[in-house]
Chains A and B, each alone.
Chain A
Amino acid sequence: EVQLVESGGGLVQPGRSLKLSCAASGFTFSNYYMAWVRQAPKKGLEWVATISTSGSRTYYPDSVKGRFTISRDNAKSSLYLQMNSLKSEDTATYYCARVPFLTTVALDYWGQGVMVTVSS
């Protein structure tokens, strides 16, 4: 069974940093692209980052480019999101998701999400 479990969320002040983690199990982690997607309270979904199987390629929207860094450790089957210079508009539930890329780049499995609140 595919499982994705996020951790590391919490309350952080504007301008500070936070690192999210996602522990994967139930599949060969190193064979899949991975992504982060966020959802502000009562709002829609926003794609945040994608990383290739080896970690050599990363992709971001302009809203987080230069502030957020996606990375992975295939030996630990773990995905990370380093978030720097946080803003109030980064407040959201953050989901990690699997990208099966050989058949599609839709997000076929999602974690339960972790809440990040940016506030003073």
Chain B
Amino acid sequence: DIQMTQSPASLSASLGETVTIECRASEDIYNGLAWYQQKPGKSPQLLIYNANSLHTGVPSRFSGSGSGTQYSLKINSLQSEDVASYFCQQYYDYPWTFGGGTKLELK
């Protein structure tokens, strides 16, 4: 199975700040990676797919990058509504696997 290691596990940032979350795969996943946002008590929502494609309706302050085994999610100009947990997921190979998550809070 492909292991997804996400960092940091938690993050505190100020409004307007730029935030970066990293995800490392245990082997090359050839950009088969998605990022999801999950607000407290809600279901996950897709932000980024294919490592760097923005899902419909997602604000442009979110962006994804990376290749091979290393991927990142960047949030520019942090807004209060971005307080949430973020998860990466590889779908290059079965079984699909998720990172452990990053809890983003406001400082």
Contacts and interface: CB of A to CB of B under 8 A. Distances in A.
Interface of A: 37, 44-47, 50, 59-62, 95, 103-113
B72 interface: no
29 contacts: A44-B99, A45-B36, A45-B87, A45-B98, A46-B98, A47-B89, A47-B95, A47-B97, A50-B96, A59-B94, A60-B95, A95-B44, A104-B50, A104-B53, A104-B91, A105-B32, A105-B91, A106-B46, A106-B49, A106-B55, A106-B89, A107-B34, A107-B36, A107-B89, A108-B49, A109-B46, A111-B43, A112-B42, A113-B43
The 9 lowest CB-CB distance pairs between A and B, nearest first, are A106-B34, A106-B49, A61-B95, A47-B96, A110-B43, A104-B49, A45-B98, A105-B91, A108-B46
The number of chain B residues touching the other chain, given as a range, is 20 to 34
Contacts of B89: 45, 47, 106-107
Given A61-B95, A106-B89, A45 B46 contact: no
Contacts of B50: 104, 106
B66 to A, nearest CB: 15
Contacts of B43: 95, 110-113
